[in-house]
Chains A and B, each alone.
Chain A
Amino acid sequence: MPTEVIMPKVDMDMASGKLAVWHVSEGEEVKKGAALFDIETDKAAMEVEAPATGRLHHILAAPGETVDVGRPVAFIYAEGEAVGASPVAVEAPKVEAPAPVAAPVAPGADPMILAPDSADLRATPVARRLARQAGLDLAAITGTGPRGRIQRADVEAALARTKPAPVVEAPLVAKAPVAAPAAPITWEPQPGDLNVTTRKGSGVPLVLIHGFAADSYGWRPLEDALPKDQALIRIDLPSHGRSPLRRVAGFADLAKQLVQVFDRVAEGPVHLLGHSLGGGLALALADIRPRQVRTLSLIAPAGLGPEIDGAALNGIARAGSVDSLAPWLKRLTARPDGISHDFAKAAMLARLDPALREAQQELAAVLFPDGVQAFDLTAALSRIAMPTLMIWGRDDHILPWRQALAAPGEVALHLLRGVGHVPQIEDPATVAALIGRHLRG
Chain B
Amino acid sequence: MNAQVQIDAQVRELSYAEAIREAMAIALERDPAVVLMGEDIGTYGGAFQVTGDLIDRFGPDRVMDTPISELGGAGVAVGAALTGLKPIFEFQFSDFAALAMEQIVNQAAKLRYMLGGEAEVPVVFRMPSGSGTGAAAQHSQSFEAWFGHVPGLKVVQPSTPAEAKGLLLAALADPDPVIVFEHKLLYKMKGPVPAGHYITPIGKAAVVRPGQHVTIVASAIMVHRALEAAAKLAREGIEAEVIDLRTVRPLDRETIIASVKKTGKLLCVYEGVKTLGVGAEISALVAESEAFDYLDAPIQRLGGAEAPIPYNPDLERAAVPQMPDIERVARQLAKGEV
Residues of A within 8 A of B (CB): 124-129, 144-146, 151-153, 188-191, 193, 195, 242, 244-245, 353, 355
Interface of chain B, main secondary structure = loop
Residues of B within 8 A of A (CB): 210, 212, 234, 237, 239, 261-262, 264, 292-297, 336-338
A124 to B266, CA, bound (A): 13
**B237 partner residues in chain A, CB cutoff 8 A:** 188-191
**A126 partner residues in chain B, CB cutoff 8 A:** 264, 293-296
Chain A: which residue is nearest B293 at the CB level? A129
A203 to B296, CA, bound (A): 37
**A145 partner residues in chain B, CB cutoff 8 A:** 297, 336-337
10 pairs, A vs B, C-beta closer than 8 Å: A126-B296, A129-B294, A146-B337, A146-B338, A151-B297, A151-B336, A191-B234, A191-B239, A244-B210, A244-B262
**A245 partner residues in chain B, CB cutoff 8 A:** 262
Top 10 closest pairs, chain A to chain B, by CB: A152-B296, A129-B293, A125-B295, A124-B296, A126-B296, A151-B336, A145-B336, A126-B294, A125-B293, A191-B237
A295 to B294, CA, bound (A): 40
Residue of B210, B212, B294, B337 near A125 (CB, 8 A) is B294
A191 to B231, CA, bound (A): 12
How far apart are A196's CB and chain B's nearest CB, in angstroms?
11
How far apart are B215's CB and chain A's nearest CB, in angstroms?
13
How far apart are A205's CB and chain B's nearest CB, in angstroms?
18
Residues A153 and B239 in contact in the complex (CB < 8 Å), given A124-B296, A125-B292, A125-B294: no
A368 to B219, CA, bound (A): 42
How far apart are A411's CB and chain B's nearest CB, in angstroms?
37
How far apart are A340's CB and chain B's nearest CB, in angstroms?
27
Chain B: which residue is nearest A245 at the CB level? B262
A3 to B262, CA, bound (A): 63
How far apart are B237's CB and chain A's nearest CB, in angstroms?
5
**A153 partner residues in chain B, CB cutoff 8 A:** 336
How far apart are A4's CB and chain B's nearest CB, in angstroms?
44
Additional A-B contacts beyond A151-B336, A353-B261 (16; CB < 8 A): A124-B295, A124-B296, A125-B293, A125-B295, A126-B293, A126-B295, A128-B293, A129-B293, A146-B337, A151-B296, A151-B297, A190-B237, A193-B210, A195-B212, A244-B262, A355-B261
**B294 partner residues in chain A, CB cutoff 8 A:** 125-126, 129
How far apart are A235's CB and chain B's nearest CB, in angstroms?
14
How far apart are A91's CB and chain B's nearest CB, in angstroms?
33
How far apart are A120's CB and chain B's nearest CB, in angstroms?
17
**B337 partner residues in chain A, CB cutoff 8 A:** 145-146
How far apart are A150's CB and chain B's nearest CB, in angstroms?
10
A244 to B241, CA, bound (A): 12
A242 to B239, CA, bound (A): 13
Chain A: which residue is nearest B298 at the CB level? A124
Residue of B210, B239, B297 near A124 (CB, 8 A) is B297
Chain B: which residue is nearest A152 at the CB level? B296
**B234 partner residues in chain A, CB cutoff 8 A:** 191
Chain A: which residue is nearest B262 at the CB level? A244
**A144 partner residues in chain B, CB cutoff 8 A:** 336
**B292 partner residues in chain A, CB cutoff 8 A:** 125
**B336 partner residues in chain A, CB cutoff 8 A:** 144-146, 151, 153
A153 to B336, CA, bound (A): 9
A124 to B299, CA, bound (A): 11
How far apart are A56's CB and chain B's nearest CB, in angstroms?
49
A144 to B264, CA, bound (A): 16
How far apart are B174's CB and chain A's nearest CB, in angstroms?
31
A192 to B58, CA, bound (A): 51
**B210 partner residues in chain A, CB cutoff 8 A:** 193, 244
How far apart are B233's CB and chain A's nearest CB, in angstroms?
10
Chain B: which residue is nearest A192 at the CB level? B239
Chain A: which residue is nearest B237 at the CB level? A191
A268 to B262, CA, bound (A): 31
**B297 partner residues in chain A, CB cutoff 8 A:** 124, 145, 151
A190 to B239, CA, bound (A): 10
**A190 partner residues in chain B, CB cutoff 8 A:** 237
**A146 partner residues in chain B, CB cutoff 8 A:** 336-338
How far apart are B276's CB and chain A's nearest CB, in angstroms?
24
Chain A: which residue is nearest B295 at the CB level? A125
